[in-house]
A and B are shown apart, each in its own frame.
Chain A
Amino acid sequence: KAGVTQTPRYLIKTRGQQVTLSCSPISGHRSVSWYQQTPGQGLQFLFEYFSETQRNKGNFPGRFSGRQFSNSRSEMNVSTLELGDSALYLCASSWVNGDTQYFGPGTRLTVL
């Protein structure tokens, strides 16, 4: 069974730009969660989607948004990028709530 895939793997943007990251979950998984990982703050939850609905959101500004499509693929968008948004963005999928989350390889975003 194919794992979670994320594209692109690496991105370099400048301040003020916006970026869209994509995540394809494991086949059959309907829950997709997003996390930001930085050396200073560690792993922080961004949001979770299930059946195209955002069910949970972490403590991030409104510049961070996401969506999920009917095939469970998910995208997250960051607008008006700031230097502090430089991070590894990880997507994880699971079959149902409380099931083990399986993580993708991540997208490394660098904001200059």
Chain B
Amino acid sequence: ELKVEQNPLFLSMQEGKNYTIYCNYSTTSDRLYWYRQDPGKSLESLFVLLSNGAVKQEGRLMASLDTKARLSTLHITAAVHDLSATYFCAVDMTTDSWGKLQFGAGTQVVVTP
């Protein structure tokens, strides 16, 4: 069974500093997604990474994928308060996934001055 592990599960960030969230998964997959969830809200798609070495950037967030290491990272540059949310990575199997995403437990990010 595909397992997805995120760490840390909680991240207290200081504004202006850089941080990284890690996402490890247990079996071969070359499709990885990052989502953001604000309290009481739904999931917002941030990035989809489709191949080994893929890197995507949007604003202060940058995501990368290493399929050989089965590892994705979400890097936050110069954290600001607006980035406070819970971040999820999700993976699907390359074959027979049929709409099933396996999510990590989420990383709750709190950015303070």
| Interface positions of A (Cβ within 8 A of B) | 31-33, 35, 42-43, 45, 48-50, 55-56, 58, 90, 92, 94, 97-98, 100-106
Contact = CB atoms under 8 A, between A and B. Distances in A.
B31 A104 contact: no
Contacts of A97: 97-99
B18 interface: no
A96 to B, nearest CB: 10
A90 B48 CA distance: 19
Contacts, number: 61
Contact of A104 (B42, B92, B105): B42
A55 B43 contact: no
B88 A48 contact: no
A12 B106 CA distance: 27
A74 to B, nearest CB: 11
Interface in B9-28: none
B33 A100 contact: yes
A101 B99 contact: yes
A38 to B, nearest CB: 12
Nearest to A4: B42
Given A42-B103, A42-B104, A48-B99, 16 more contacts: A33-B99, A33-B100, A33-B101, A42-B105, A43-B90, A43-B101, A43-B103, A45-B102, A49-B99, A55-B98, A56-B100, A90-B42, A94-B99, A98-B31, A101-B101, A103-B42
A3 to B, nearest CB: 9
A98 B41 CA distance: 24
Given A42-B105, A43-B88, A56 B43 contact: no
A56 B98 contact: yes
B100 A58 contact: yes
A100 B99 contact: no
A56 B92 CA distance: 12
28 contacts: A31-B99, A33-B101, A42-B103, A42-B104, A43-B88, A43-B90, A45-B99, A45-B100, A45-B101, A45-B102, A48-B98, A48-B99, A48-B100, A49-B99, A50-B99, A55-B98, A56-B96, A56-B97, A56-B99, A90-B42, A97-B97, A97-B99, A98-B92, A100-B33, A101-B45, A102-B45, A103-B42, A103-B43
